[in-house]
């Protein structure tokens, strides 16, 4: 048991994955779109393989660095399908770990129009079909739901309960996408002493017994996301959404002890990463501009702090924005994170794409120790039982 009364998962059972890297970073490059092609825009990236991406004609590049190669856990080329991304981005491992009790987050980062929502949910409306057979454009979330239920169906000794919630952060206000209410009243974030984490007060959570329940959550949230929005594109480029599935498992452990633990799976569709510059010069009020940027700025700051070995042990400003409060337990300490950085290959977007690649490179350097959260009392009982067994066997040898 460590100082937080957490018990490392590895100590409970050896069959669980050995976690060394808690952040997996992949890049997805969307195809040039028809407008870009019509305007004669060209691709400025190449794919040497081995998780590398090469950028030609680097912006502000001095004469000896006109091209630059960046390395990640994987790079998905424009021709990659939704299925390729699902199979090879690391989401399956993330889901497996969430089932085993880790706090896991998959987030899409990138400028507006780079393919974040396409990657997570696919084109609008597509999620309304039941995945008896996948449509080629079905996104990561839906494929993850199916995979999650495949995993749960296999394990008969463990009893699982799934609870889902879906929220949006716009202008630092938290809106419950499963329970809009008439006034769209924002919900407060509070600190829970017991869970040692932030939570959204009165957030609607839905117990999901089958796949269709999870799909209904996704549908309802996506529908509510667009309710009353005059300019959906502008709105979605400035808001963050977090779909969360809490997975509680109850298992009978050695010595007749009953253990319950709750893993978490977050899917985060972030606001466009270009927003910072645009809103500063835009016509918004200063407060609104600051607030819209705040969550992304603080996330960037947290990632920089976490990834810098010189800053180990220094203060990480999770509390400075609502997004980072809610993601703190995944980014820090004992969470596991999958970052999908989305970029456009077009020359006209190059400086934003390079910003995204640099951001992703920083995130890659984050190192923490994932662990499973368990009820401290149960962890203690388990350890005492273990000690008794050891003492008994020692005794037997005397």
Q: Which residues bind ligand ADP (CB under 6 A)?
A: 30-31, 33, 110, 112-118, 123, 237, 272, 342
Q: Which among ligand ADP, Mg ion, none contacts residue 263 (Cβ within 5 to 8 A by kind)? A: none
End-to-end CA distance of the chain: 29
SS3 15: coil
Burial of 86: CB neighbours in 10 Å, binned 0-12, 13-18, 19+: buried
356 is in an annotated binding site: no
Site for Mg ion, rule CB under 5 A: 116-117, 236
**Closest approach of Mg ion to the CB of residue 59, in Å:** 24
CA pair distance 107, 323, nearest whole angstrom: 12
Nearest to ligand ADP of 97, 342 (CB atom): 342
114 is in an annotated binding site: yes
Which residues lie across from 54 on neighbouring strands? Answer: 46, 69
**Closest approach of ligand ADP to the CB of residue 112, in Å:** 4
CA distances from 21 to 87, 208, 306 (A): 19, 30, 13
260 is in an annotated binding site: no
Residue among 218, 235, 233, 237 nearest 296 (CA): 237
Nearest to ligand ADP of 273, 305 (CB atom): 273
Residue 271 is given by DSSP the state P
Nearest to Mg ion of 236, 262 (CB atom): 236
CA pair distance 132, 152, nearest whole angstrom: 18
Nearest to ligand ADP of 155, 233 (CB atom): 233
Residue among 319, 174, 302, 318 nearest 244 (CA): 174
Instruction: Name the residue with the smallest CB distance to ligand ADP.
Output: 115
**Closest approach of ligand ADP to the CB of residue 259, in Å:** 40
Nearest to ligand ADP of 115, 370 (CB atom): 115
Q: Which among ligand ADP, Mg ion, none contacts residue 113 (Cβ within 5 to 8 A by kind)? A: ligand ADP
**Closest approach of ligand ADP to the CB of residue 344, in Å:** 9
Q: Which among Mg ion, ligand ADP, none contacts residue 110 (Cβ within 5 to 8 A by kind)? A: ligand ADP
Nearest to Mg ion of 117, 305 (CB atom): 117
**Closest approach of ligand ADP to the CB of residue 80, in Å:** 7
333 is in an annotated binding site: no
Site of tokens 């910072």: 276
Instruction: Name the residue with the smallest CB distance to Mg ion.
Output: 117
Which residues lie across from 69 on neighbouring strands? Answer: 54
CA pair distance 29, 198, nearest whole angstrom: 34
What are the two backbone dihedrals, phi and then psi, of residue 290, each rounded to the nearest 5 degrees? -60, -45
**Closest approach of Mg ion to the CB of residue 335, in Å:** 24
110 is in an annotated binding site: yes
SS3 53: strand
In this structure, what token pair is assigned to residue 390? 């050891």
347 is in an annotated binding site: no
116 is in an annotated binding site: yes
Binding-site members for ATP are 110-117
Binding-site members are 110-117
């Amino acid at each position: 048991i460590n100082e937080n009364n957490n018990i490392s998962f590895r100590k409970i059972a050896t069959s669980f994955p050995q976690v060394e890297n808690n952040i997996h970073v992949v890049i997805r490059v969307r195809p040039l779109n028809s407008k870009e092609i019509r305007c004669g825009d060209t691709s400025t990236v190449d794919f040497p393989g081995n998780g590398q991406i090469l950028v030609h004609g680097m912006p502000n590049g001095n004469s000896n660095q006109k091209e630059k190669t960046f390395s990640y856990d994987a790079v998905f080329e424009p021709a990659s399908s939704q299925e390729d991304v699902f199979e090879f981005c690391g989401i399956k491992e993330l889901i497996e770990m969430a089932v085993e009790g880790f706090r896991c987050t998959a987030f899409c980062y990138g400028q507006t129009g780079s393919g974040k929502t396409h990657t997570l949910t696919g084109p609008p409306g597509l999620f309304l079909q039941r995945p008896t057979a996948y449509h080629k454009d079905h996104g990561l979330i839906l494929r993850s739901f199916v995979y999650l239920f495949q995993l749960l169906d296999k394990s008969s000794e463990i009893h699982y309960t799934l609870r889902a919630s879906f929220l949006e952060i716009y202008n630092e206000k938290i809106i419950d996408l499963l329970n809009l209410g008439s006034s769209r009243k924002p919900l407060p974030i509070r600190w829970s002493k017991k869970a040692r984490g932030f939570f959204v007060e009165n957030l609607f959570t839905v117990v999901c017994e089958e796949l269709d329940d999870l799909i209904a959550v996704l549908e309802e949230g996506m529908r509510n996301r667009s309710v009353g929005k005059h300019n959906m594109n502008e709105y979605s480029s400035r808001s963050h959404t977090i779909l969360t599935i809490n997975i509680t498992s109850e298992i009978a452990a050695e010595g007749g002890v009953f253990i319950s633990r709750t893993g978490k799976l977050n899917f985060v569709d972030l606001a466009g990463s270009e927003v910072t510059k645009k809103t500063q010069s835009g016509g918004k009020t200063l407060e609104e501009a600051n607030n819209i940027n705040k969550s992304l700025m603080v996330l960037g700051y947290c990632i920089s702090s976490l990834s810098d070995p010189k800053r180990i042990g220094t203060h990480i400003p999770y509390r400075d924005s609502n997004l980072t409060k809610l993601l703190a337990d995944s980014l820090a300490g004992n969470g596991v994170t999958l970052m999908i950085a989305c970029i456009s290959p077009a020359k006209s977007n190059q400086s934003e794409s390079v910003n995204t690649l640099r951001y992703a490179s920083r995130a890659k350097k984050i190192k923490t120790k994932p662990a499973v959260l368990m009820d401290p009392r149960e962890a203690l009982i388990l350890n005492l039982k273990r000690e008794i067994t050891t003492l008994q066997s020692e005794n037997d040898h005397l």
